[in-house]
């Protein structure tokens, strides 16, 4: 299957995750509003305290919905993309098949979340040398080297997200092995083939950067232009509202403009996560699986990665123990 076909067939996962995110936002907002309106006739302190508590509860509800439901849909999407890339086919109901793959591969959701966080910790720990290097070269704060290092680190974090997805995809492609062992193999295979995957990493960074600049800046200008035509032009919004410690004065118009920019950035992130990231996932997964195809896992890299990451060493030892248990039973 071609990348575009896989993207179209698995796009239902992105829609469902978007709906869950919107439902989580709506639930959090409704809980907060309920706290405000139910205590509006009481004292100001009671109203403020109740609204604050309801806001915290709403954030927790939003977090739980996105964390569990959204992440499990992401896992199902990864499973189906990995299957399409390696086997060249997908079932008619990809969502049902994705859920079944997650249930069959991970006994509980906590196992999936545990391995997901472990992969993130491993890849982040191994690649955080970039920050140390740029700090050594930077010298003074706010230097050019420090700025460049910050940008490099930012894009590395973007690429690491897709590496984590590919490692989990490797776990789904090897159902006969321990999930922990497959996770270690997936991490080793990435670092073993990093040169071949560097091209895909560059594409991911370039597409993400271009999308964020074009869409983000466009939405910022659009929001501000709409506000200028909607808000009163009598200068009433230019009254000083806030003075910072360094003497900077913010007007109501300034605050509204900053809010418009924040909304534009949030919408840009939402559009990127819904429409762009799924295609980048397919592209990166194909490059990863093609690079790892018919290539045995390097035993030497196990030792090197164990020395570079304590989290990897712990996970590797756990996989070795799980692999040895059936043999001991026989």
Give the pLDDT of residue 278: 93
Q: Give tens-digit pLDDT for 279-301.
A: 999 999 998 898 887 677 766 77
The structural domains of the chain, with segments of one domain joined by +, span 1-104
Question: How many residues are there in the chain?
Answer: 330
Give the pLDDT of residue 171: 86
Cα–Cα distance list, 164 to 18, 170, 189, 327 (Å):
21, 10, 12, 30
Give the pLDDT of residue 293: 79
Q: Give tens-digit pLDDT for 18-66.
A: 888 888 888 888 998 888 888 877 877 787 788 888 888 988 888 888 7
Take residue 39 and report the two structure tokens written for it.
Answer: 């205590």
More confident residue, 103 or 126: 103
Produce one character per residue of 164-186: b if its CB has 16 or more CB atoms within 10 Å, e if not. bbbbbbbbbbeeebbbbbbbbbb
User: How many other C-beta atoms can be found within 10 angstroms of the C-beta atom of residue 40?
Assistant: 12
More confident residue, 33 or 315: 33
Find the mean pLDDT for residues 240-256: 57
Residue 95 has pLDDT above 80, yes or no: yes
The pTM of this model reads 0.78
More confident residue, 74 or 238: 74
Take residue 100 and report the two structure tokens written for it.
Answer: 């079944």
Find the mean pLDDT for residues 260-288: 87
Instruction: List CB contacts of 169: < 8 A, sequence separation 6 or more.
Output: 78, 79, 81, 82, 85, 186, 285, 288, 289
Instruction: List CB contacts of 261: < 8 A, sequence separation 6 or more.
Output: 220, 223, 224
Mean pLDDT for all residues in the chain? 78
Instruction: List CB contacts of 264: < 8 A, sequence separation 6 or more.
Output: 216, 219, 220, 222, 223
The fraction of the chain above a pLDDT of 70, given in percent, is: 75
Instruction: List CB contacts of 166: < 8 A, sequence separation 6 or more.
Output: 186, 190, 284, 285, 288, 289
More confident residue, 89 or 145: 89
Residue 305 has pLDDT above 50, yes or no: yes
């Amino acid at each position: 299957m071609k990348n575009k076909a896989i993207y179209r067939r698995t796009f239902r996962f992105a829609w469902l995750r978007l709906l869950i995110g919107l439902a989580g936002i709506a639930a959090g907002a409704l809980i907060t509003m309920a706290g405000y309106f139910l205590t509006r006739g009481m004292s100001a302190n009671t109203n403020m305290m109740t609204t604050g508590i309801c806001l915290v509860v709403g954030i927790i509800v939003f977090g739980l919905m996105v964390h569990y439901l959204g992440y499990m849909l992401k896992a199902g999407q990864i499973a189906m993309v990995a299957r399409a890339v390696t086997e060249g086919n997908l079932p008619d109901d990809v969502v049902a098949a994705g859920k079944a793959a997650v249930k069959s591969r991970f006994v509980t959701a906590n196992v999936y979340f545990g391995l997901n966080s472990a992969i993130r910790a491993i890849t982040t720990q191994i690649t955080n040398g970039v920050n140390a290097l740029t700090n050594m070269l930077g010298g003074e704060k706010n230097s050019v080297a420090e700025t460049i290092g910050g940008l490099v680190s930012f894009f590395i974090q973007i690429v690491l997200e897709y590496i984590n997805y590919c490692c989990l995809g490797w776990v789904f492609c090897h159902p006969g092995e321990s999930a922990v062992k497959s996770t270690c193999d997936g991490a080793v295979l990435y670092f073993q083939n990093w040169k071949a995957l560097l091209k895909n990493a560059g594409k991911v960074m370039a597409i993400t950067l271009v999308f964020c600049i074009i869409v983000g800046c466009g939405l910022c200008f659009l929001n501000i232009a709409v506000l200028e035509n909607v808000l009163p032009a009598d200068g009433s919004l230019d009254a000083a509202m806030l003075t910072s410690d360094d003497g900077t004065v913010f007007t109501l118009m300034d605050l509204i403009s900053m809010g418009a920019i924040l909304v534009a950035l949030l919408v840009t992130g939402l559009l990127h996560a819904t429409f762009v990231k799924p295609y980048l996932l397919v592209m990166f997964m194909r490059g990863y699986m093609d690079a790892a195809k018919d290539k045995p896992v390097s035993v030497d890299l196990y030792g090197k990665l164990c020395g570079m990451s304590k989290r990897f060493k712990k996970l590797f030892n756990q996989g070795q123990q799980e692999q040895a248990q059936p043999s001991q039973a026989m």
